[in-house]
Amino acid sequence: MPKENAEFLDYIDGIKRKEQEKEEWERTLQWKKEWRETTYAGMLIALVERTGTAKFFEAIASSLEGGEDRASFYAIKIIYRVGMITSCIMFVFILGFLFKMLFGDEIVIEQEVVLVEEITRSQYEAELREKKERGEVVDETIPIVKKQSKARQRRGKRD
């Protein structure tokens, strides 16, 4: 009878252990899914897996001696991931280089500065007389000056 109890207890322990392993596996899968959705590296790995090339590289890694339990398998897997991330970064640089060739090195924003000088009519006429005396071509039309409001004139006097 004690032998049967021991076997039964071993059976129960085996079931509990399998349930714990299943729960750990589900937590690992959940963490991996979250990692792939929230990090750039995870998104790149998911992209590679969607293209189907991941299985090819995993087959190469598992063909190494010892399969998934050996350090060489994990080293190849890490090199594969780093290589994919590096290739994606290089793709971005190449794309940037192409845009640079198409659109130029930099965007230049030019600003025009307009200086407004207020002069009186007598000063304007004096300048025209000086230009005539020097022999320069003078435009005889007098610009139309809009009358400013009294509030604007007062502000102008304070400045």
Whether the model pTM is above 0.85: no
Q: What residue spans of 39-143 are helical by DSSP H? A: 40-51, 53-62, 71-103, 121-134
Per-residue pLDDT tens over the stretch 52-102: 777 776 777 666 666 666 777 777 778 888 988 999 999 999 999 998 888
**Percent helix, strand and coil across the chain, each rounded to 5?**
75, 0, 25
pLDDT at 131: 84
Per-residue pLDDT tens over the stretch 13-59: 888 999 999 999 999 989 888 888 888 888 888 887 777 777 776 77
Reported confidence tier of residue 105, pLDDT bands at 50, 70, 90: confident
